[in-house]
Amino acid sequence: MKIVDIFASRLFAIHYADQKDNEYDRLMDLWNDIDYIVQFLKQNTQDIPPKLDVYQLAEDILDNREDIEDNILYNLERLDGFFKPLDNNQIGEFDLLRSKGRKNVLRLYALRLSENVYVITGGAIKLPLQHLMQHREHTHIELIKINKFKDYLSEQGIFDEDAFYEFINE
C-alpha cells in the first residue's frame, strides 16, 4: 500500500498493491465505463426503485462522476464542503475522521487528516434502496478498507496532518 498525492497536497489516495492505479484514478476510470456501470446496475436491481430506468441511471452516474471530479478539482481549498462524516450522527470535525464524498449514488470514502486534507481509501455505487454499508458486499468491503487504513495510521502514531506529512516524506 502506498499513499499517492492526487491534488496539491490536500487530496491523497491509497494505491493498493494489487491494483494498477490508486483508488481515485481507479474509481474515476471505473465510473466512466458504461459497460461496467450497466452490468453493476443489472446485478443490483434489488436496490433500484422500480420507477428508475437502469440505462438512465447509468447515464446519470457518468454525469455524477464528472461532477465529482470537477467539484474536487475546482474546490481544493474547500474539501470539507464535499466530504462529510461517514456516520451521519457524527457532529464536529476531527482528525482521522471517516468521511464520504457523494454525488447522488456515487461515494468516495476517505479519512480526514485535518481541515480540507483527505486520503481516499475507496468508493462505491450506493444505490437508493441500500441503507447501510454492511448490507451489501461491495460497500462492506469499502467500510473494511477505511477502518483498516485508520487503524494503520493509528498504529504508526499518525493522529494529525503534521505526523502524516512526516510519514509520507520518510
Domain segments of the chain: what residues? 2-168
Q: Helix H segments across the chain?
A: 23-30, 34-43, 54-74, 79-82, 137-155, 161-168
> How would you classify residue 17: left for phi > 0, otherwise alpha for psi between -120 and 50, otherwise beta?
alpha
β-pair partners for 117: 114
Task: Report the pLDDT value the prediction gives residue 131, as an integer from 0 to 100.
Answer: 81
Task: Report the pLDDT value the prediction gives residue 93, as an integer from 0 to 100.
Answer: 59
Which parts of the chain register pLDDT below 70? 90-94
Q: What is the pTM of this model?
A: 0.94
pLDDT in tens, 31-40: 999 999 999 9
- Regarding beta strands 2-7 and 11-15, do their DSSP bridges make them parallel or antiparallel, or are they unpaired? antiparallel
Task: Report the pLDDT value the prediction gives residue 80, as an integer from 0 to 100.
Answer: 92
Task: Report the pLDDT value the prediction gives residue 92, as an integer from 0 to 100.
Answer: 59
